[in-house]
């Protein structure tokens, strides 16, 4: 099997927003409690946060994190999570049928985000609450002092405001499962007024309005049109969500779902352009893909659990054991975001710890990286800069999810200083190695400075990292590619993901 790709330094897609590699964490399952926060854990720091988890998080260099939900936020009272922890109420969380102790609230989470060197992206409740509560939340977080809510924050030991710039206007309001679900026009009006209110605080606040929960919703894509017609001039991003699975155990069809995602992004970009033209607006709106991940391994059983259990506290929920196939898929989806970085500016892997996550923990025990951790890490560390166009010529296949799908998938990013280029290359074939000729034009003195490979054998497709064996699926040094005649030639193993960094003159 042979594949070719052509890349030119001057043929660019867009400057990649660093926030393309953001994350999401919700008060759900063990994401917060015994995930990031476990005061009795042997590695817990003075604030109760697990340092073993923080080490894994810091190594990802995550630019921003969305919090506190998710479905959870649509019935959440943020005031429950402030003040002395001993005085905080225990509530029933209707979204995931569990108890919320509120031992972690905005101030604790802000401390964790500071420890992890991550910018906060906060969501407001527009399900059971509205403009007033959102306004108060922003004042508590962002105003220096001299007012009720800002002085209350100061009385809680936080003298300096957080200066949070990104605010999500509710969550999945198109979904009938959402507490406070609304029709599109109704939600669009509320989002418009809420956005104007929170932006009145100044400081460069940006707002994210809810788009479709997925591209199979019966209201998609007219939901986006109706919502944007109500709020276009006063918001900055529209959110998209999509989760993926391979219950049929058909790897090639699974990988073809990335093509579906490209169509999803393209369709909503078209809706944005339509509404902008219709309203004669001057501002641009971009896409915030603020929930994405693989979610299917335990989904059916977990759904039965949370609909039947009797309000447990921090129960195990959506704790996926990700395998090699999932890692290759995640690498491909990140490639799609890079290719669409002219429209997608923010994307958040959902979620970060324990709940469909790249990081797993045991209560009182160890923390480890799942297989999807590594392609996410490579993209976050080396996928910043300018996305370059990649023209691919090679064998293709048809699947139920999409037709005419390339076995070869390549994304290319030129570093901000122009001194290196990174290629993220996938051979989707389960059986055949790919002989590749990657032409790189406009570059001189190319040298490979790092080459990492995951996979190479479809027999390992279902192999996962576990607590007992946390390093079964990890990157290894590659040795089958070399610089020849100003390009990159060699072989990509079957069923593999590769990250290749080259210095350039």
Just list the catalytic residues.
172, 291
Would you give the DSSP letter of residue 248? T
Degrees, nearest 5: CA angle 191-88-138: 30
Would you give the DSSP letter of residue 81? G
* 375, 267 contact by CB (below 8 A): no
The sign of the torsion formed by the CA atoms of 250, 252, 253, 258 equals positive
Give kind and range of the element (H or E) at residue 19: none
User: Measured between alpha carbons, how far is 171 from 126 in angstroms, rounded to an integer?
Assistant: 8
User: Measured between alpha carbons, how far is 402 from 397 in angstroms, rounded to an integer?
Assistant: 9
Return the SS3 of 53. Answer: helix
What pairing do the DSSP bridges indicate for beta strands 64-67 and 22-24? parallel
The full length of the chain comes to 505
- State the helix-helix crossing angle for 222-231 and 184-199, rounded to 10 degrees: 40
233: Cα separation from own chain's centroid: 26
Tokens 């995640």 belong to: 330
**Phi, psi at residue 33, to the nearest 5°?**
-85, 120
Q: Residues 52, 55, 57, 63: what is their CA dihedral angle, to the nearest 10 degrees?
A: 150
> Which is nearest to 66 in space by CA: 317, 292, 342?
292
For residue 4, the cross-strand partners are: 393, 437
> Which is nearest to 68 in space by CA: 130, 112, 38, 18?
112
Tokens 């996410």 belong to: 376
């Amino acid at each position: 099997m042979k594949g070719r790709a052509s890349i030119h330094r001057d043929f660019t897609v867009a400057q990649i927003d660093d926030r393309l590699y953001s994350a999401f964490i919700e008060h759900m399952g063990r994401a917060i409690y015994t995930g990031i926060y476990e005061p009795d854990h042997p590695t817990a720091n003075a604030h109760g946060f697990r340092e073993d988890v923080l080490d894994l998080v810091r190594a990802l260099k995550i630019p921003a994190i969305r919090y506190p939900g998710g479905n959870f936020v649509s019935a959440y009272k943020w005031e429950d999570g402030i003040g002395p922890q001993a005085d905080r109420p225990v509530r029933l969380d209707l979204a995931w049928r569990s108890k919320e102790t509120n031992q972690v609230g905005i101030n604790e989470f802000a401390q964790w985000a500071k420890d992890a060197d991550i910018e906060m992206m906060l969501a407001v409740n527009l399900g059971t609450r509205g403009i007033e509560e959102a306004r108060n939340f922003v004042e508590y977080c962002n105003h220096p002092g001299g007012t009720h809510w800002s002085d209350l924050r100061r009385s809680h030991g936080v003298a300096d405001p957080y200066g949070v710039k990104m605010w999500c206007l509710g969550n999945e309001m198109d979904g009938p499962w959402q507490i406070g679900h609304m029709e599109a026009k109704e939600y669009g009006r509320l989002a418009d007024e809420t956005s104007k209110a929170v932006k009145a605080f100044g400081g460069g606040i940006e707002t994210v309005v809810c788009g479709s929960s997925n591209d199979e919703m019966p209201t998609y894509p007219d939901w986006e049109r109706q919502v944007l017609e109500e709020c276009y001039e006063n918001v900055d991003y529209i959110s998209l969500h999509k989760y993926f699975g391979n219950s049929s155990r058909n790897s090639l069809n699974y990988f073809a779902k990335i093509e579906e995602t490209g169509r999803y992004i393209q369709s909503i970009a078209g809706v944005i352009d339509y509404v902008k033209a219709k309203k004669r607006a001057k501002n641009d709106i971009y896409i915030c893909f603020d929930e994405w991940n693989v979610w299917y391994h335990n989904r059916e059983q977990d759904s039965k659990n949370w609909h039947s259990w009797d309000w447990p506290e921090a129960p195990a929920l959506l704790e996926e054991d990700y395998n090699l196939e999932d890692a290759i898929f995640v690498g491909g989806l990140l490639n799609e975001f890079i290719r669409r970085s002219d429209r997608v500016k923010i994307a958040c892997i959902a979620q970060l710890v324990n709940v469909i996550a790249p990081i797993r923990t045991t209560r009182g025990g160890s923390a480890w990286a799942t297989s999807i951790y590594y392609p996410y890490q490579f993209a976050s560390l080396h996928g910043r800069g300018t996305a370059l166009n990649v023209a691919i010529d090679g064998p293709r296949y048809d699947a139920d999810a999409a037709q005419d799908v390339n076995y070869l998938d390549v994304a290319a990013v030129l570093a901000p200083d122009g001194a290196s280029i990174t290629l993220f290359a996938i051979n989707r074939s389960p059986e055949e190695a790919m002989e590749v000729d990657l032409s790189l034009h406009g570059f001189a003195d190319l040298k490979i400075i790092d080459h990492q490979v995951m996979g190479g054998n479809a027999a390992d497709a279902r192999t996962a990292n576990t607590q007992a064996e946390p390093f079964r699926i990890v990157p290894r040094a590659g040795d089958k590619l070399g610089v020849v005649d100003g390009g990159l030639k060699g072989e990509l193993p079957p069923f593999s993901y590769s990250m290749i960094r080259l210095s350039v003159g």
